[in-house]
Structure 1
Amino acid sequence: MSVIVTDTVSTRQNRSVPFRVSGSVATGSILQPLNSSMIAVAIVGIAAQFGSSSGITWVISGLYIATAVAAPMAGKLGALLGARRVYLGGLALVSLGSIVGILAPTVGWLIFSRIIVGIGTATQYPNAMTMIRGYSERYGAQPRTAITTLSVCSQSVVALGPALGGLLVGAFGWHSIMWVNLPIAALSAVMVTRFATVGSVRRVPASRRQLLRSLDLVGVLLFLVLISSTMLFLLSLTTGPAWWLLPVWALALAAFAQWERRADEPFIDVRALARNRALSATLARTLLTYAAFYCVYFGIPQWLQYSRGMSATQAGLTMLPVAGVGVLTTMLASRTYGRHGARRTLTVGTCSLLVGGVLLALVEDSTAPILVLLLVAGVLGIPNGFNNIGNQNLVSSVTSVEEVGTAIGMYRTVQYIGANLATAVLATTSGDIIGDDGLHRTGWFIAAVGFILLVGVLTSRSMGDRPRASVHPLEEKPGLSA
């Protein structure tokens, strides 16, 4: 993937993307983290209604598989058809899936609804980033503060999800985590339609055949098999490893790489990805970061309910410090990135992850005072802000405006793979019921991930010690409306 940079920074690029633009596109981006994290406190109620069958795990994993596959595709569609159009289409899918989930008579229908919601939420973040970069390049504004807004409204909301979900489930039952999507989607649609009127340059295909060729449907199908086999294998580790999926995965990987190398318009340009070491390293770092991230947000609420006897509401409220600290550190991390670059930003984030894992392993147990629990939760909120800002700004800085939607989609894909990996880790370290010993083992896993990431950040040659040079603004052209 190409990098469009300049060594000089114009005075126009000292301005930021207006909040009316970044705030409007950020409204829909909170849907994915809410739906991925609220389920942590709702799953007990869902199991009580439908029974503790193996299908319950698909209520969580179905959304991740759907979103992991759909996110890069959503970015590609946004570049072809217009980011705002695809963004709004995704909001419609979220609303449809939520209504199906509210009315679901069986766990199968609930899983289906979560898949629809997952596909819908996959469209928001990649196309929000495309619209922000489009505005940035058209008007010469720097996108860093807008990326901070996106991060606060999406990634930090993951920490808020258990608290909000706990309140909703405690007051209205598990169905409430579905109907809460409806007013958010409606509000987002109004704001994006009103304020996000400028997006990236879109390349409208001349015909339907050209559109299908540009979408690279064979590449998409192979990518679907590749990601699905990856996620399904990780999911199988919670019960019994499905070893037959490994040769399927290997064949899908080989076929996907071979096809994409030869495709005229590849879904994912694997050659450019191999050349862009900064992007490849960032995606690998993101995978490990989110594996640890979701161990915290899946593991602690369940431990609080099983081992400390808390209700869903109490468990959610105990996770509030993670959300609050995450929001504050996201803003602080944005300043750190602006002054010192990605390396120092990620160093703070990975060190905090290491310390938080050690505290979880050594301090937390079912007899610990609530103040200790809150303090540890606060420490675990620090890496949320710094790692997200460092990694997302790196993705933005090393891709062009036409590529950033697909690249951010890939970023989200590895995030969801990390979530499924976390599920497998928790099954290995804690089993079906998370007790004190299981929580401690999970803490050591998080600490080990933090140490590996820290070493990688300090020794990396693919990130600068200062922020990347500013994106060179494109000439203003008609038809930029997305």
Structure 2
Amino acid sequence: MTDAKAGCPEAGTDKPGFDRGLLPPMLLGSVLNPINSTIIAVALVPIGRALGAPASQTAWLVSALYLATSLGQPVVGRLIDVFGPRRLFLLSTGLVGVAGVVGALAPGLGVLIGARVLLGFGTCAGYPAAMALVRSEAERTGRDSPGGVLTALAVANQTVAVVGPLLGGLLIAVGGWRATFALNVPLALAAVLLGLLRLPKAKTPEAKPTAQSTAQSTGGSTPRGSLAARLDLPGMGLFAAMLVSLLLFLMNPHLRDWYLLALAAAAGAAFAARELRAATPFIDLRVLGGNTPLLATYGRALVAYVVSYSFLYGFTQWTEEGFGLTPFHAGLAQIPMFLLATGVSIVSGRSTSVRGKLLLGAVGQITACLVILLLGGDSPLWMLLLVALIFGIPQGLNNLALQNSVYFQTDPERTASSAGLLRTFAYIGSMVASAATAASFGQHADTGGLHRLAWVMLGAGLLYLLLTLFDRTLGRTAGTGTRASL
């Protein structure tokens, strides 16, 4: 999957080092999604004012991206596992540029939501492609985490996620909310150019059978079959039906929409039946079902992102509407979180421990939620800065720990799709956060709504802590070249 071009040998060893030329497209591609996820936080209020839309409608700008990305990440990840990262990376990042143009010129909220859907699909390839490249370089160099690249990837993603609101506020101050969409045009051009210059050529789909295909074949032979069979298109379709139905319900949960849950359950049952019989399943449920550590990691990702995205969208909207800050100052108020999160990620990235990071991240989330319950419209500014500072601890720890957990717990042949599935669970959490934010605030982001949202966040934070405390497999998940038991 990699070029013939090898990286320089690392000091003190004859083994080749990680190909540093891969880092620019890896990092830029992987941050396209978090920058679009977070930059919209400070743009929701200006967009609502400009288009005459209440918070309950502008929430679709958040939900639309996550709906597309939740569906697209594991699907594109599976395509990367089969074809290699280059062509998927180029197609997807090109779509980001198209979405940026559509959003910048959108005449109304409907077209703007469509642009966010395009952004969701366009940003699907960056992170799975980066994780696949880390895996291929690990195989080439004989190092499970070559050159600390996993830490660099996590730091880049969390840094962009935190600085997004500040960047969004600056863009809005200079060019209005449309500038937050136009930003994607130069970013996409840079990503496509770097991908063309640096990414390895695509591999042939039939070149390497997966471990699952080998295990499931009879007599020890590997069934290759058609490309459609290897991709498991029916499985992808059923997965899409299940996820779309579930997320549509989560966008605006109400008993009148019970049929969406019924559709999700029916599609889920059909998906499970299909995957258990498929020779090369889209998601191998037999392997995944026996991989308790990975399932626990996905569960932690879901609840962790309920907290973090409730803070990102809910707290940011409240600082503008309930506290009276401008979009730029609302982003500026999160600078303490940005600085601390970056430092925490860099320092903690030197350790292979996962459990310690997760526990400290859980405590940080719970503490920040408790402080939010003390906030009011007349609170001093330093209390807002304190909340942002406390949130910097879990922001710097959780993403890194979850990413490293998946890397060492998953089947190497499905690194990209497993990384995409991690993002899917995270985005399901973000959809829950979006629904909770809309339900808590209604038509206006006032202090009462913020406190209602804080109780939801606190419950999710406590669940995250429990999922970590009672997971005995975490001690075996570390970047030492050994994986947790499957």
TM-score (normalizing by structure 1): 0.89
| Number of residue pairs matched by the alignment | 456
Q: Which residue of 1 aligns with 2:25?
A: 24
Q: Which residue of 1 aligns with 2:106?
A: 104
| 2:334 is the alignment partner of 1:319 | yes
Residue 84 of structure 1 contacts residue 199 of structure 1 at CA under 8 Å; is this kept in 2? yes
Residue 408 of structure 2 contacts residue 477 of structure 2 at CA under 8 Å; is this kept in 1? no
Separation in 2 of the partners of 1:462 and 1:404?
20
Q: Which residue of 2 aligns with 1:345?
A: 357
Counting only pairs closer than 5 Å after superposition, residues 28-427 of structure 1 correspond to structure 2 as: 28-52=29-53, 56-143=58-145, 145-197=148-200, 203=206, 210-237=226-253, 242-336=257-351, 338=352, 341-362=353-374, 364-427=375-438
1:96-118: CA deviations, max 9, x gaps?
11112222223222222211111
Q: Which residue of 1 aligns with 2:219?
A: none
Residue 322 of structure 1 contacts residue 379 of structure 1 at CA under 8 Å; is this kept in 2? yes
Separation in 1 of the partners of 2:320 and 2:410?
43
Residue 30 of structure 1 contacts residue 154 of structure 1 at CA under 8 Å; is this kept in 2? yes
Most deviating of 343-352 and 278-287? 343-352
Separation in 1 of the partners of 2:191 and 2:35?
14
Residue 145 of structure 2 contacts residue 479 of structure 2 at CA under 8 Å; is this kept in 1? no
Most deviating of 86-95 and 282-291? 86-95
Separation in 2 of the partners of 1:450 and 1:392?
19
Q: What is the letter of the counterpart of residue 358 of structure 1?
A: L
Separation in 2 of the partners of 1:14 and 1:87?
28
Q: Secondary structure at 2:475's aligned position in 1?
A: coil
Q: Which residue of 1 aligns with 2:468?
A: 457
Q: What is the letter of the counterpart of residue 355 of structure 1?
A: T
Residue 357 of structure 2 contacts residue 397 of structure 2 at CA under 8 Å; is this kept in 1? yes
1:356-383: CA deviations, max 9, x gaps?
1111123x22222212211220111110
The structure-2 alpha-carbon separation of the partners of 1:314 and 1:369, relative to structure 1 and needing over 3 Å to count, comes to same
Residue 69 of structure 1 contacts residue 224 of structure 1 at CA under 8 Å; is this kept in 2? yes
Q: What is the letter of the counterpart of residue 194 of structure 2?
A: M
The offset of 1:16, in angstroms, is 6.3
1:385-415: CA deviations, max 9, x gaps?
2111111111000123321100011001111
Separation in 2 of the partners of 1:16 and 1:454?
37
Unmatched runs of 5 consecutive residues or more in structure 2: 1-11, 210-223
Q: Secondary structure at 1:416's aligned position in 2?
A: helix
1:164-191: CA deviations, max 9, x gaps?
1111112211111111111112222233
The offset of 1:443, in angstroms, is 2.5
Separation in 2 of the partners of 1:90 and 1:188?
10
Unmatched runs of 5 consecutive residues or more in structure 1: 1-10, 473-482
Q: CA RMSD in A?
A: 2.5
Separation in 1 of the partners of 2:383 and 2:132?
42
Q: Secondary structure at 2:324's aligned position in 1?
A: coil
Q: Secondary structure at 1:119's aligned position in 2?
A: helix
| 2:463 is the alignment partner of 1:448 | no
TM-score (normalizing by structure 2): 0.88
1:26-83: CA deviations, max 9, x gaps?
1121111111111111122222333316653322211111111010011111121111
Separation in 2 of the partners of 1:368 and 1:81?
54
Separation in 1 of the partners of 2:16 and 2:447?
50
The structure-2 alpha-carbon separation of the partners of 1:350 and 1:172, relative to structure 1 and needing over 3 Å to count, comes to same
Separation in 2 of the partners of 1:124 and 1:466?
25
